């Protein structure tokens, strides 16, 4: 078993990616992802990781190089953030549609303008529908653990889909915390060898990414959606394997002090850590409040969410991005959509907070919860309410 060390989350993520024994890494550095790819480049240069490192000239090329590598059957890793993820956008759809199991960590960052390198979930929401499996983690250990799980899930013959791991920029990427990095042998035992069933091979020629006219495109898209939804069971299976091997547990919707809670706060990403502090504080004050933390964003965990909110009367969802001119926060609108047709459903109030790296403190989450309660009581819900914005 590896030792617990004090390490920056980005460096630990790079170490984890290295331990996973990738064949190809293609990446372009961008704040706040930089430390991940810098450290990987260093490890490759020092001969510690036996991979081909392709320093490309843009994120569009990074994803394109990753796809080419993955198509030959290579285990492929990359990382990006914010604007970089946006520049990759069209290639993201191609990777998932062609079922190329690239693993990518995204250091979540706000989108310009104004230029902002700090963390929020705007980039994550912009790639919501790209067909990637998307895992959202709340601390460095979860990021490391899910790098290993991501390779198992992506490369599983029943899945063969790319996986994104969302890691809050700065709030998480640049934090030094105690993290257990397993030994190389343990990781190699956990991640099965990878065999892409139809790699580019001159002896067995295939065409990837061919033309799909109207006579075949709808069938191709239906298949893609079915595949992504079916990946859920395999994700749970690999998380269970992980628990068996390393002890730590992961669930699509995690609960914190939800027993007897009529009010539930719902978050995703690193803010969940602070939100737990707020739950403790409010519980001490006698408020029956609990926390739900979303860990699996795609495929969306409908069943787990419906189950988790069954007893609640009010759900307060915190979004870290805005759907401009749309239904407020994209996370909240998905939660609402998932619950709308339930016979008995809790009231769902959405609040947007923490944009562009604005901190949300423990008291902030207490305030958000109280505001949620107030809105529910008064019935004065607005389409979009941003908590803590100066009027």
Partner 1 sequence: MSKNKEQYTWKELEIGTIFTEPGNTAEYKTGDWRSQAPAYNFERCIKCGVCQLYCPEGCIEEDADGYFVANLYWCKGCGICARECPTGVITMEEETE
Q: What does the alpha-carbon distance between residue 240 and residue 212 come to, in Å, rounded to a whole number? A: 38
Q: Residue 230 interacts with partner 1 (CB under 8 A)? A: no
198 near partner 1 (CB under 8 A):
yes
- Exactly one of 47, 114, 193, 197 binds partner 1 (CB under 8 A); that residue is 197
Provide the CA 134 distance to its chain's centre, in angstroms: 4
Asked if 160 interacts with partner 1 (CB under 8 A), we say yes
Minimum distance of partner 1 from residue 153's CB (angstroms): 16
Integer Cα distance of 233 and 94 in angstroms: 24
Which one among 48, 129, 201, 219 touches partner 1, defined by CB under 8 A?
A: 219
- For the bound state, the minimum distance from the C-beta of residue 229 to partner 1, rounded and expressed in Å, comes to 13
Q: Decide whether 208 or 373 has the Cβ nearer to partner 1.
A: 208
The DSSP code for 105 is E
CB of 198 to partner 1, least distance (A): 5
Q: How far is the CB of 303 from partner 1 (least distance, A)?
A: 23
Cis preceding linkage at 385, omega within 30: no
User: Is residue 210 involved in binding partner 1 (CB under 8 A)?
Assistant: yes
Token digits for 327?
A: 């239904």
* Candidate list 10, 31, 99, 141; residue touching partner 1; CB under 8 A: 99
Q: CB–CB of 314/290 below 8 Å?
A: no
Q: Is the dihedral of CA 222, 147, 141, 271 positive or negative?
A: negative
Residues found in the chain: 391
166 C-beta neighbours (distance < 10 Å), count:
27
- Does 229 interact with partner 1 (rule: CB under 8 A)? no
Exposed/middle/buried for residue 208 (C-beta within 10 Å: 0-12, 13-18, 19+): middle
Shortest Cβ distance from residue 217 to partner 1 (Å)? Answer: 9
202 near partner 1, rule: CB under 8 A:
no
Specify whether the CB–CB gap between 130 and 92 falls below 8 A: yes
* Piece in contact with partner 1 (CB under 8 A), picked from 35-43, 142-150, 186-194, 221-229: 221-229
Stretch of residues binding partner 1 (CB under 8 A), selected from 1-9, 198-206, 298-306, 347-355: 198-206
Determine if 206 is a binding residue for partner 1 (CB under 8 A): yes
- Rule CB under 8 A: say whether 41 interacts with partner 1: no
Residue 216 sits in the site that holds partner 1 (CB under 8 A): yes
Contact by Cβ (8 Å): 233, 260: no
Would you put residue 335 in left (φ > 0), alpha (ψ -120 to 50) or beta? alpha
Binding positions for partner 1, rule: CB under 8 A: 97-100, 160, 197-198, 205-208, 210-213, 215-216, 219-220, 222-223, 226
């Amino acid at each position: 078993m590896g030792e617990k060390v004090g390490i920056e989350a980005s460096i630990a993520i790079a170490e984890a990616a290295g331990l996973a024994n990738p064949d190809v890494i293609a990446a372009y550095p961008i704040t706040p992802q930089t430390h991940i790819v810098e450290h990987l480049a260093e490890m490759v240069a020092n001969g510690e990781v036996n991979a081909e490192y392709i320093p490309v000239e843009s994120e569009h090329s990074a994803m394109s190089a990753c796809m080419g590598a993955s198509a030959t059957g290579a285990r492929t890793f990359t990382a990006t953030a914010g604007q970089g993820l946006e520049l990759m956008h069209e290639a993201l759809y191609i990777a998932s549609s062609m079922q190329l199991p690239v693993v990518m960590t995204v250091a979540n960052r706000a989108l310009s303008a104004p230029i902002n390198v700090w963390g929020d979930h705007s980039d994550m929401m912009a790639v919501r529908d790209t067909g990637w499996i998307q895992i959202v983690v709340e601390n460095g250990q979860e990021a490391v653990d899910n790098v290993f799980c991501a390779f198992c899930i992506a490369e599983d013959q029943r899945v063969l889909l790319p996986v994104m791991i969302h890691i809050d920029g700065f709030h998480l990427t640049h934090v030094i915390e105690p993290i257990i990095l397993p030994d190389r042998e343990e990781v190699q035992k956990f991640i099965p060898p990878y065999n892409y069933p139809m790699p580019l091979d001159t002896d067995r020629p295939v065409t990837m990414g061919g033309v799909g006219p109207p006579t075949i495109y709808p069938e191709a898209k239906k298949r893609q959606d079915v595949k992504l939804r079916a990946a859920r069971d395999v994700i749970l299976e690999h998380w269970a394997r992980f628990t068996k091997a390393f002890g730590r547990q992961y669930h699509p919707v995690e609960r914190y002090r939800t027993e007897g809670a009529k009010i539930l706060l719902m978050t995703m990403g690193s803010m969940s850590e602070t939100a737990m502090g707020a739950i403790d504080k409010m519980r001490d004050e006698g408020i029956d409040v609990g926390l739900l933390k979303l860990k699996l964003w795609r495929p969306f965990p409908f069943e787990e969410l419906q189950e988790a909110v069954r007893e609640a009367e009010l759900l307060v969802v915190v979004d870290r991005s805005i759907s401009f001119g749309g239904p407020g926060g994209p996370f909240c609108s998905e939660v609402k959509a998932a619950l709308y047709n339930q016979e008995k459903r809790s009231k769902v109030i959405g609040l947007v907070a923490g944009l562009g790296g604005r901190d949300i403190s423990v008291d902030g989450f207490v305030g958000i919860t109280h505001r949620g309660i107030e809105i529910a009581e008064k019935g004065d819900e607005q389409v979009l309410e941003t908590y803590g914005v100066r009027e």
